[in-house]
Amino acid sequence: MIYITIFFEFFKVGLFSLGGGLAALPFLQELITKYGWITSEELLNMIAVSESTPGAIGINTATFIGYNTTGILGAVTATAGLAAPSIIIIIIIAHYFQRFNEHPIVQSAFTGIRPAVAGLIASAAFELSKGEIFVLENFHLDSKILSLIDLKAFLFFIIIFIAVRKYQKHPIFYIITAALIGIIFKY
């Protein structure tokens, strides 16, 4: 029964998370709340690993959650559930590609989807940053804004942001640097 649940939950994630792995984050966050298959901290760690390794974020995360829940069969089930909607939709679209591609309604729909995907990603980023950069336990009506921010995490974010803009190194350099800093300072 758990395998059917895993398959259909990840099928829904794959079906409704248009825009790639980061667009799946709100749905994965909901799965954590609903089933508790992994913790929010494990999800953050999985996103970091998925961003720094080859492969799609959604597939890597689904595999991890499935494996963490029920082992290898769970990993295969979750991955198959996540990939199935894409495969089905691609087969259907490939069959009717010319008609779909040039139809103004379809082009308009894709134009409208882009801001929604950006909003979903921003929402997920905010939700994930609440525990890392923003310290919401310190929020009171008479609070100062600085008491809501983890200054070390915010400073680290600003330093990396400036470094990326100024030095324009390859992204792998920043990923490895951030990983080393995290290991050294156990941040």
User: Can you give the pLDDT at residue 148?
Assistant: 59
Residue 139 lies in a domain: no
Residue 137 lies in a domain: no
User: Can you give the pLDDT at residue 136?
Assistant: 57
Span of 3-7, 8-12, 13-17, 20-24 with lowest mean pLDDT? 20-24
User: Can you give the pLDDT at residue 11?
Assistant: 93
Residue 157 lies in a domain: yes
Identify any residues that bridge with 82 across adjacent strands, giving them in sequence order.
none
Q: Is the pLDDT of residue 117 over 80?
A: no
Where in the sequence is the domain holding 75, given as residue range(s)?
Answer: 2-130
Residues 120 and 54 both lie in one domain: yes
Query: What dihedral do alpha carbons 59, 62, 64, 67 form, nearest 10°?
Result: -120
At 137-162, the pLDDT tens digits run 555 555 555 555 666 777 777 887 78
Residues 84 and 29 both lie in one domain: yes
Residues 78 and 107 both lie in one domain: yes
Residue 94 lies in a domain: yes
Residues 46 and 103 both lie in one domain: yes
Residues 20 and 75 both lie in one domain: yes
Residue 136 to residue 149: CA distance in whole angstroms: 8
What's CA 11's distance to the chain center, in Å? 16
Residue 138 lies in a domain: no
Closest CA to 62 of 28, 100, 90: 28
- Average pLDDT estimate for 9-35: 81
Residues 74 and 107 both lie in one domain: yes
| Percent helix, strand and coil across the chain, each to the nearest 5 | 80, 0, 20
Residues 157 and 95 both lie in one domain: no
At 39-78, the pLDDT tens digits run 878 888 877 777 777 777 788 888 888 998 899 999 999 9
User: Can you give the pLDDT at residue 77?
Assistant: 95
Residue 61 lies in a domain: yes
Residue 91 to residue 25: CA distance in whole angstroms: 25
Query: In the chain, how many domains are there?
Result: 2
The per-residue pLDDT of the chain, averaged, comes to 78
Q: For residue 18, which phi and psi values (nearest 5 degrees)?
A: -75, 135
User: Can you give the pLDDT at residue 128?
Assistant: 64
Could you tell me the pTM of the whole model?
A: 0.55
